[in-house]
Amino acid sequence: MGGPLLTMIVQRIALGVLLLFAVSLLIFAGTEILPGDVAQAILGQTATPEAIANIREQLGLDRPAPMRYLEWLGGAVQGDFGVSYSNRQEIATQIAGRLGNTLFLAAAAAAIAVPLAIILGILSVRYRNTFFDRIISIVTLTTISLPEFFSGYILMFVFAVSLQWFPSSATVYDSMTLLERLWAIALPVMTLVLVVVGHMMRMTRAAILNVLSSPYVETAELKGLSQSRIIWRHALPNAVAPIINVVALNLAYLVVGVVVIEVIFVYPGMGQYMVDHVSKRDVPVVQACGLIFASVYIILNTIADVASVLANPRLRHPR
Amino acid sequence: MFKTMPVSAMIGLFGVCFYVFLAVFAPLIAPYGETEVVGGVWLTPTAQFWLGTDNLGRDLLSRLIYGARTTLFIAAVSTVVAFIIGILLGFLAAVMRGWVDQVLSRLNDLLMSIPTLIFALVVLSVLPSELYILILVMAVLEATRVYRVSRAVAADIAVMDYVEAAKLRGEGWGWIISREILPNAASPLLAEFGLRFAFAVLFLSALSFLGLGIQPPAADWGGMVKDNKDGIVFGIGAALFPGAAIATLAISVNLVVDWLLNRTSSLKGGRGDG
């Protein structure tokens, strides 16, 4: 760990923090500048101007926007997201448990999808252009194109309704043991795995194939090394950086992809909470959820950046 | 061009044409009206109702055919708008360079750093639920991806000798963008258009599925999944038909795009595999 490397990593992280600020500004402005009016939306089209002025004052909307942004951001940094419009409860307490649920679901899916994708990717390179490779290629291309709500309901139809192996709705509560929880989320996890594994596997395959076309691999081939040894010992270490990148990007996608899947399986997570409150036009809740989702996404992307710098020394000296 | 077409691309092209045909001639093909209640709730498929009926007793096949119209039309319009915005700004950034490029690219990075669906949810929570707003929101979010691609493509072309020659001839920015760069960027952008269109179909369906896209009673595929999803637990597969339609359309478009991409990369002497 030399000086330049550390500076570079600090730079990336600083960039991430800067981006987070810009995104918070964008999310706040997005609900602020746009022509919709919250008070109007709550009361409906028939509201009298007095009633609208009244509710604007109640919600503090009559004060200047920059002040409200600073207050909102200051609160958000300390974990205080204000009060929901629709049920007048603290948003932070409502979110806490749900965020945990969402991360649990995403983590369980990642624990299956990442190893599966990498192993399939390596196998399809090892047996490239064979029947096995073609099958994997066709299957993953199909799973990539399937919308989550299609694969989700198919899995539900087959495994929950016809075979009755798993519950159709993923209900979880605090007193459940870990095993009960995992059983309850089996179907949403399977759906998530289907959504991300194809992309991850194809990128892994492409990354290794890319390395395989370089001269040093040809040398290894001419030395008479076996295919497996070339892939595992020679090609894979150099393909690690792009693979890490793809994995982190897909993890970021997992956290966002849960939104639709939580709605399908009625899972008490952040995604369902956010969607519910979008239709209720409960702006503070939507802002809070949007900020958290965007933060997780940006943090994972920054980790991907830093990890690929660490894994690939050539990236440490930008031209 | 069509003689060397692989089977997969043929299948894809057939699928796309099939759905476009359904969309264009929907009123002629559909056996019943779009919102017409024709029988009991969730009837199983019979000779009279080929795919059965939906949660309100409307003919599922007819709704599926009309849904093709709504879904394809809105996805196509938003993709076209996205391409107009994205290509204009992307080419402008590539040709002007300097601070114009910097400002546009950083703004674009910022928009892209928020996941599309999350951003759409935030914006749609304040905007009125109107059709044109839905199309604009989808277009702006997609334009970020188009901007990236068209800027990269145009940046490669902008340094070519013939562009230099046009500049020395004294042609303006408008000429260079529309007469020098656009024709040479058409091929990769066409493939991108296919990808973006498939994405728009999926995105629109996801929004409608969440109840934030096209409002009832108009039929659209995502909304139909939402309408009939409660039947799944009773073993009624009505929600699976629109889901399958979305999936097959997305796969068809991807198959055609794959072929287009392979064709353009082999024209440039790139390797076909990998």
Question: Could you report the per-residue pLDDT of B237-249, keeping only the tens digit for each?
Answer: 788 889 899 999 9
Count of domains observed in chain B: 1
Q: Does some domain include residue B117?
A: yes
B273 pLDDT exceeds 50?
no
CATH of the domain at B221: 1.10.3720.10
Interface ipTM: 0.82
**What is the rounded average pLDDT of the residues B1-15?**
81
B75 pLDDT exceeds 90?
yes
Q: Does some domain include residue A229?
A: yes
Average pLDDT along chain A: 82
For residue A41, the chain B residues in CB contact (below 8 A) are: 126
Q: Does some domain include residue B48?
A: no
Q: Does some domain include residue B78?
A: yes
Q: Does some domain include residue B170?
A: yes
pLDDT recorded at residue B1: 59
pLDDT recorded at residue A93: 83
For residue A156, the chain B residues in CB contact (below 8 A) are: 232-233
Q: Does some domain include residue A80?
A: no
Q: Which chain A residue has the Cα nearest residue B234?
A: A161
CB contact (8 A) between residue A294 and residue B222: no
Phi, psi angle pair for A83, to nearest 5°: -115, 140
Q: Does some domain include residue A134?
A: yes
B86 pLDDT exceeds 90?
yes
Q: Which domain holds residue B62?
A: 7-29+55-250
Q: Does some domain include residue A23?
A: no
Residue B205 contacts A, CB cutoff 8 Å: yes
B271 pLDDT exceeds 60?
no
**What is the rounded average pLDDT of the residues A276-281?**
84
The closest of B106, B107, B104, B83 to B95, measured between CA atoms, is: B104
CATH of the domain at A160: 1.10.3720.10
- In tens, the pLDDT along B126-181 reads 887 788 989 999 999 999 999 999 998 888 888 888 888 988 888 888 888 888 88
CB contact (8 A) between residue A34 and residue B123: yes
Q: Does some domain include residue B185?
A: yes
The closest of B133, B146, B140, B274 to B214, measured between CA atoms, is: B133
Q: Using CA atoms, how far apart are residues B114 and B109, in angstroms rounded to an integer?
A: 9
Q: Does some domain include residue B85?
A: yes
Per the confidence metrics, is the pTM higher than 0.90?
Answer: no
Q: Using CA atoms, how far apart are residues B229 and A149, in angstroms rounded to an integer?
A: 9
Q: Does some domain include residue B159?
A: yes
Q: Does some domain include residue B173?
A: yes
pLDDT recorded at residue B18: 92
Count of domains observed in chain A: 1
pLDDT recorded at residue B272: 38
Q: Which domain holds residue A309?
A: 97-316
Q: Does some domain include residue A55?
A: no
